[in-house]
Structure 1
Amino acid sequence: MRKNIIIILVGLIIGVVFIPYTITLILALVTALLLEGLVNWFEKKFRLSRVNSVILAFISYILILIGIGYQLLKITIEQITSLSENTPTLVQDFYLSTLLPIIRQMYQYLETLPSEVVLSVENTIENSVNSLDSFLQTLFSSAFSLITAIPGFLIEFLIYLIALFLITLELPNLKQKLSQYLTIETKTRVSLVTNKLTSAGIGFIKAQIILSALTFMLAFVGLAVLGVSNKVLISLLIVIVDILPILGTGSVLVPWGIVAILQGDNFLGIGLIILFVVITVIRRTIEPKVYSTNLGISPLASLISLYIGFKLLGFIGLFAGPAVVIVFDTLRKANILKMNFKI
């Protein structure tokens, strides 16, 4: 018994150490497990061999990726082209209507202030400009790093596709070889845990898609009401920023609203801030219900796990909190964790 526990612990430690280096293969394995249902459907529906069913499922998956990627790229290019045509005018309008009056007003005030105060203000402005310059340099450096990372990403993606095809093809053999080392009781528990976690993983992806779609629709409708151009691109940007760590819809809508108010467009500025509040309230209200429906946990457990996870780990906790609850519930149902006690 002790020997088995040591072997399991060593295996877990090795797995944790090598996870960063095998993430591509892990993603391929997870995708293969998700495609297994489609492969089985092809086998039963058209009475095909395993190889032909895997080929059909693999091609279908590739076509779906190409279709989604093409549409996203097409929409993004169209919106960026439209935005680039309007950017010079937007910058010029912002300078003439907002920055120039503020600068002139500052000079009028500075003339009436002591020289020490003027020097302090000049230093503050200089430090702000330097900070902005550093931020832009970092931004450009990040963009350059992103561009240079594309070849590496393509190589990783190619490896992912090859691994996905081979793993999908060999999945029954892998399951059979693994089952040789498991007792009947352990097989039952592993099957229960695997099915539960797979269902939860699919449910989590569905929940994220639902929440992102809701954010996109709310942003699109709100921007349309406010008469904003490039609604599709900006709505996509809001969705992407909302998913990223630390950032959120407020990092786009609130600064934009403040700038609009400074430019004298109170309708747009206040409307953007109201839109931010509406998106935040609606999303946070239905988020526990969406998670509970798709992850198979109660709304209360979902809400508590989201709240505690966010408080402890920030953005990552929004994912880790429900994941811990799902794993705990799965292990309890598999009788791996026994909670048969009374106080």
Structure 2
Amino acid sequence: MIIDMNYWSKVIKRIFLLLVSVIGIYLFFKLSIFYLPFLIAFVLSLLIEPAIKFLMRKLKLKRKTSSIFIFLIVLLIIGGGLVWGITTIISEASSLLQGFNNYFDKLYIQIQEVMNYFSSSKFQFSEQVNHFIQESTTEFIGNFSNWIKNGLTNLLNFFTQIPTISIYVVITLLSLYFICTDKIYIMDQVEHHLPPIWAKKIWIHLKEISKMLGCYLKAEATLVLVSFIISIIGLYIFQMIGLNIHYPLLIALGIGFVDALPILGSGSVMIPWAILVALDGDIKLGIAIMILWGIMSIVRQFIEPRIVSHQLGIHPIFTLLAMYTGFRFMGIIGILLGPIILIILKNIFATLIDQGIIKSIFDR
């Protein structure tokens, strides 16, 4: 048997390059946690670059002047949003945390009333079944109550670290300013310190990745923002007309976050919520929540194909897989970073993916 050493050396070389690339990307993202403010600033600079170029083109302004003008607008939007959001979340979360014991006591009493009804009716359960249901219900309510309380406590603890967060925010904003105003200088420095072929490949990949990331972030941000705006307006209207709505901002943020996840969507929160409040006797609120969910679904179905389709070329199952993998490796932040990493990998290994990864490695 003749072994084609030339062929197998090529295969080993391709496998080695693939492994080195994957390890390099993994290490890059592990190290990037330390430089997260700079990465956030870089992504934000990609998003506001079209606005800077628009001012340069239409008003004939210099890059620095356009960058400062757009930067100030972004600063006002982010600053105002953070101040309003943080104060409202702290207020609502504190109030919600204080009232949780009453909510779960009320829920337990209602479940006991249901059990007593079945016990006194002809549809009687055996004593063992009643005991099992009562124990399971008590355990579930206790565990769920503790989980919610811990989550809200952690949220409040997070906001007590505002001095540390402020440092990250300041570094991010300063980085954004310098990246926007001195983009040409930064690009010249990169080209000066790298071999020409490396610099060329880096700029090609960066342009493609920037384009794909821009599409992804704009699509997700638009969909989440639309869901958030519709839900918070609807919830505040419900509150104004006298429906039993508390903590509208927290609820709207939760709906917006869940709506960003593939497959789940806002219905996974709003439908059970509507059913529970209707069973609790508040039929009007249950109907109102379903109407709000219907409006959100119609709007999302109308705008989603125009925003997302044909932009990323990634099936939702792979997006979900990327989110889960990111969550396992990096926690909650990985849910957001997972799809971004997938987009970058898809761009870097585009040739291998188009040919078939295994096939391209073992092709002669």
TM over 0.5: yes
Residue 142 of structure 2 is aligned to residue 142 of structure 1: no
| Whole-angstrom distance in 1 between the partners of 2:316 and 2:342 | 11
Q: Secondary structure at the match of 1:21?
A: coil
Paired AA for residue 320 in structure 2 = F
Residue 274 of structure 2 is aligned to residue 257 of structure 1: yes
Cα distance change on mapping 1:315 and 1:218 into 2, 3 Å: farther
- The residue number in structure 2 matching 1:206 is 218
Residue 207 of structure 2 is aligned to residue 195 of structure 1: yes
- The residue number in structure 2 matching 1:16 is 29
- The residue number in structure 2 matching 1:242 is 259
Q: Give 1:171's match in structure 2, choosing from 169, 179, 183.
A: 183
Residue 320 of structure 2 is aligned to residue 310 of structure 1: yes
Q: Give 2:309's match in structure 1, choosing from 273, 292, 300.
A: 292
What is the 5 A alignment of 1:1-343?
12=25, 14-36=27-49, 45=59, 48=62, 50=64, 54-69=67-82, 76=88, 98=110, 101-102=113-114, 104-105=116-117, 108=120, 119-182=131-194, 184-216=196-228, 219=231, 228=243, 233=249, 234-243=251-260, 248-266=265-283, 268-269=285-286, 272=289, 276=293, 279=296, 283=300, 287-292=304-309, 295=311, 297=312, 301-302=313-314, 305-310=315-320, 314=324, 324=342, 328=346, 332=350
Q: Is the 8 A contact 1:245 1:315 kept in 2?
A: no
Paired AA for residue 173 in structure 1 = Y
Q: Secondary structure at the match of 1:180?
A: helix
Q: Is the 8 A contact 1:42 1:53 kept in 2?
A: yes
| Whole-angstrom distance in 2 between the partners of 1:136 and 1:220 | 21
Paired AA for residue 256 in structure 1 = W
| Whole-angstrom distance in 1 between the partners of 2:322 and 2:62 | 50
1:67 is displaced (CA, Å) by: 4.1
1:24 is displaced (CA, Å) by: 1.4
- The residue number in structure 1 matching 2:330 is none
Cα distance change on mapping 1:172 and 1:238 into 2, 3 Å: same
Q: Is the 8 A contact 2:118 2:125 kept in 1?
A: no
Q: Is the 8 A contact 1:193 1:330 kept in 2?
A: yes
| Whole-angstrom distance in 1 between the partners of 2:322 and 2:289 | 30
| Whole-angstrom distance in 1 between the partners of 2:179 and 2:267 | 42
| Deviation readout 1:290-336 (Å, 9 max, x if unpaired) | 2135x3x5xxx44xx2234336755968985687467646765xx89
| Whole-angstrom distance in 1 between the partners of 2:288 and 2:71 | 46
Unmatched 5+ stretches in structure 2:
1-12, 327-334
| Whole-angstrom distance in 1 between the partners of 2:220 and 2:195 | 37
Q: Is the 8 A contact 2:55 2:61 kept in 1?
A: yes
1:259 is displaced (CA, Å) by: 1.8
| Whole-angstrom distance in 1 between the partners of 2:280 and 2:211 | 50
Paired AA for residue 240 in structure 1 = F
Cα distance change on mapping 1:315 and 1:291 into 2, 3 Å: farther
RMSD, aligned α-carbons: 5.1
Q: Secondary structure at the match of 1:292?
A: coil
Q: Is the 8 A contact 1:220 1:235 kept in 2?
A: yes
Cα distance change on mapping 1:319 and 1:290 into 2, 3 Å: farther
Q: Is the 8 A contact 2:55 2:66 kept in 1?
A: yes
Q: Is the 8 A contact 1:216 1:236 kept in 2?
A: yes
Unmatched 5+ stretches in structure 1:
none
Q: Secondary structure at the match of 2:184?
A: helix
Paired AA for residue 146 in structure 2 = S
Q: TM-score, normalised by structure 1?
A: 0.66
Percent identical pairs in the alignment equals 19
1:158 is displaced (CA, Å) by: 1.7
Q: How many residues align?
A: 321
Q: TM-score, normalised by structure 2?
A: 0.63
Cα distance change on mapping 1:135 and 1:339 into 2, 3 Å: closer
| Whole-angstrom distance in 1 between the partners of 2:182 and 2:230 | 44
Higher mean displacement: 25-34 or 39-48: 39-48
1:65 is displaced (CA, Å) by: 1.9
Q: Is the 8 A contact 2:238 2:245 kept in 1?
A: no
Paired AA for residue 204 in structure 1 = Y
| Deviation readout 1:39-61 (Å, 9 max, x if unpaired) | 566667465584x5554443232
Q: Is the 8 A contact 2:86 2:159 kept in 1?
A: no
Q: Is the 8 A contact 1:306 1:319 kept in 2?
A: no
Cα distance change on mapping 1:174 and 1:318 into 2, 3 Å: closer
| Deviation readout 1:171-203 (Å, 9 max, x if unpaired) | 323211211244555544433322222222222
Cα distance change on mapping 1:157 and 1:246 into 2, 3 Å: farther
